[in-house]
Amino acid sequence: MSKGVLATEKRGMRELGAEKAVGWDVVTQGTLLYPFESELKDVAHIRPEERPYSDFNSYTATVASWRVVKPVYNRDVCIDCQNCWVWCPDTSIISRDKQMLGIDYDHCKGCGVCAEVCPTNPKSLIMFAEAEEIEDALAKWPEKKKKAK
């Protein structure tokens, strides 16, 4: 099988299906896709940023164009509870060393689950229109809501 037919920059650069893919006649029974450039032992102990992802790994692709709305993250109110991390269906909450670092906008589909499960008041994740600038979104952050009696 020819390797690297859809070779691209390491990640986030390509829209799925946006360029001419190899024909389906290339896909036969027994097709093998290698997620890494070289044999990797113990993947579970290698951080994503240190892995030699191959062009066949969906990590190198993006679904950003699926989004109509996007989650914006406000570090000021976040308590690093990791609710957003555990329930994101698209591995798009970047958490390292127990800290929430932000959103992986190459893989986030804008489902809104993270904002929904965020427990802080005001929320640390709020959905904004995809076109909204992050700074503008942060400037519009709501105040703490008073408890309704």
Partner 1 sequence: MAITSIKNLKEFSTVNERFEGAHLLCPGCAHSMIVRELMNATDDNLVIATNTGCLEVSTAVYPYTSWDTSWIHIGFENAASAISGAEAMYKARKRKGTLKDPDAPVKFVAFGGDGSTYDIGFQWLSGAIERGHDFTYICLDNENYANTGGQRSSSTPIGAHTSTAQAGRVSYGKKQKKKDMIAIMAAHGAPYVAQLAPNKWKIMAKGFQKALETEGPCFINTVSACTTEWKFNPKDTIHLTDLATDTLMFPVYEIINGTELNILYRPKNVLPVEEYLAAQGRYKHLFKPENKHVIEKIQKEIDAKWEYLQRREEARV
**Rounded to the nearest 10 degrees, how much is the dihedral formed by the CA atoms of 98, 102, 108, 54?**
-70
The region of 48-56, 118-126, 128-136, 138-146 touching partner 1 under the rule CB under 8 A is 48-56
Helices (H), 88-133: 113-117
Binding partner at 103 among partner 1, ligand SF4, none, C-beta below 5 to 8 Å by kind: ligand SF4
Instruction: Identify residues 58-97 at the interface with ligand SF4 (CB under 6 A).
Output: 71, 78-84, 88, 90, 92-93
- Rounded to a whole number of angstroms, the minimum distance from the CB of residue 108 to ligand SF4 is 3
Binding partner 1 (rule: CB under 8 A), the pick from 9, 25, 31, 148 is 31
- Please give the size of the binding site for partner 1, defined by CB under 8 A: 60
With CA atoms as reference, report the closest residue to 114 among 124, 128, 106, 122: 124
Identify the burial level of 116 via C-beta atoms within 10 angstroms of its C-beta, where 0-12 means exposed, 13-18 middle and 19 or more buried.
middle
Question: Does 118 interact with partner 1 (rule: CB under 8 A)?
Answer: no
CA angle 137–140–141, rounded 5-degree value: 95
Binding partner at 16 among partner 1, ligand SF4, none, C-beta below 5 to 8 Å by kind: partner 1
- Rounded to a whole number of angstroms, the minimum distance from the CB of residue 66 to partner 1 is 7
CA dist list (Å): 115 to 23, 31, 109, 139: 39, 39, 13, 17
Q: Give the DSSP H or E segment for 137.
A: helix 134-139
Residues that bind ligand SF4 (CB under 6 A): 71, 78-84, 88, 90, 92-93, 100, 103, 108-114, 118, 120, 124-125
